[in-house]
């Protein structure tokens, strides 16, 4: 959750829409401070996420401004002035709540990491379902170097992705890894250079928009639930029965039998 950037420009969190509103981009915009997050930015992000969750969007992209950093996490100059009680009561709890809100969005989410993702910036990316990284991206959790720990879900989500040993390596040594290593570890799904990054994003968006949205969102919830130990045999039986009664299921089966491309509407 750490940033090396001082408090300065307030920053902004905005949303934009494309593909007739089916794709929403959440933009964290504070490039002068390497997109370091303030409490106000976290509050704005949470408000936008609530709106996105109830919208017709079917894919959510999480992006940031500037070319140097994806996000360097929490603004050190801001949280270093807090008392231990306020650190626990405000900074950690609010960050957890907002990143959990992102992780629980019904829509598939993609973090586009095109620079340094450090501390809370990496935790932000970890809260997304998928991660696409530029070849120049770098990843680290340097908190122990300041006498604290990753505080916005990094220990849990990183361990779930790369395993305990590699999570300990990043956290305990403060080591920074490059995009290629992150890809090998399974920390990111795809690595692409500048010229192909947008092509990779477009391909993911196309693939995601081509699926039945109800089934897709239910499947996302099932993966999250089974990762936490829920019984897949029971949940999949219930979910299969539910999705079999949707219009999208009828559309998918009819299109398959008729060898046509299905047009799903989320009903």
The dihedrals phi and psi of 50, each to the nearest 5 degrees, come to -60, -40
> 81 Cβ partners below 8 Å, 6+ apart?
none
For residues 153 and 126, the answer to whether their CB atoms sit within 8 Å is yes
What is the Cα–Cα distance from 66 to 50, expressed in whole angstroms? 26
Per-position b or e across 138-166, b if 16+ CB within 10 A of its CB: bbbbbbeeeebebbbbbbebbeebbeeeb
Per-residue confidence of the chain (267 residues) as pLDDT tens digits?
A: 433 333 345 789 999 999 999 999 999 999 999 999 998 999 999 999 999 999 999 999 999 999 899 999 888 776 666 666 666 567 788 899 999 999 999 999 999 999 999 999 999 999 999 999 999 999 999 999 988 888 899 999 999 999 999 999 999 999 999 999 999 999 999 999 988 999 999 999 999 999 998 889 988 988 888 777 766 666 666 666 666 567 766 665 666 667 777 787 767
- Per residue in 188-215, is it b (16+ CB within 10 Å) or e — as a string? bbbbbeeeebeebbeebbeebbebbbbb
pLDDT in tens, 253-263: 666 667 777 78
Q: Per the residue annotation, which of 47, 143, 169, 247 is the catalytic one?
A: 143
Please check whether residue 122 is in contact with residue 167, taking contact to mean a CB–CB distance below 8 angstroms. Answer: no
Q: Which of left, alpha, beta for 117 (phi over 0: left; psi -120 to 50: alpha)? A: beta
Catalytic-labelled residue, pool 47, 123, 169, 236: 123
| Confidence (pLDDT) at 5 | 37
Contact between 209 and 24 under an 8 Å Cβ cutoff? The reply is: no
Asked if 119 and 1 count as a contact pair (C-beta separation under 8 A), the reply is yes
Q: Cα separations (Å) of 47 from 14, 157, 250? A: 10, 23, 35
247 is a catalytic site residue? no
Whether 236 sits among the annotated catalytic residues: the reply is no
87-115 pLDDT tens trace? 656 778 889 999 999 999 999 999 999 99
Q: What is the DSSP string of 27-81?
A: EEE-GGGTT-B-HHHHHHHHHHHHHHHTSS--EEEEEESSSSEEE--B-HHHHTT
Q: Give the chain's domains with CATH numbers.
A: 12-209 (3.90.226.10), 213-258 (no CATH)
């Amino acid at each position: 959750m750490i940033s090396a950037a001082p408090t300065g420009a307030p920053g902004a969190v905005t949303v934009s829409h494309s593909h007739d509103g089916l794709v929403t981009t959440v933009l964290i915009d504070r490039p002068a401070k390497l997109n370091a997050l303030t409490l106000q930015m976290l509050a704005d992000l949470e408000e936008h996420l609530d709106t996105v969750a109830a919208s017709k969007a079917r894919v959510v992209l999480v992006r940031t401004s500037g070319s140097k950093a994806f996000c360097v996490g929490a603004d050190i100059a801001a949280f270093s002035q807090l008392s231990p009680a306020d650190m626990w009561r405000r900074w950690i709890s609010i960050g957890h709540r907002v990143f959990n809100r992102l992780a629980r969005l019904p829509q598939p989410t993609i973090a586009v990491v095109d620079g340094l993702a450090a501390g809370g910036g990496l935790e932000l990316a970890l809260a997304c379902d998928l991660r696409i990284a530029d070849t120049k991206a770098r990843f680290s959790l340097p908190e122990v170097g300041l006498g604290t720990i990753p505080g916005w879900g990094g220990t849990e989500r990183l361990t779930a992705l790369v395993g305990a040993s590699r999570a300990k390596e990043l956290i305990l040594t403060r080591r920074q890894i490059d995009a290629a290593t992150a890809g090998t570890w399974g920390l990111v799904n795809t690595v692409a250079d500048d010229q192909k990054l947008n092509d990779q994003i477009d391909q993911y968006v196309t693939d995601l928009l081509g699926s039945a949205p109800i089934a897709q969102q239910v499947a996302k919830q099932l993966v999250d639930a089974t990762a936490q130990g829920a019984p897949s045999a029971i949940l999949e039986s219930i979910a299969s029965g539910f999705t079999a009664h949707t219009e999208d299921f009828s559309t998918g089966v009819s299109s398959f039998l008729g060898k046509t491309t299905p047009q799903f509407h989320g009903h």
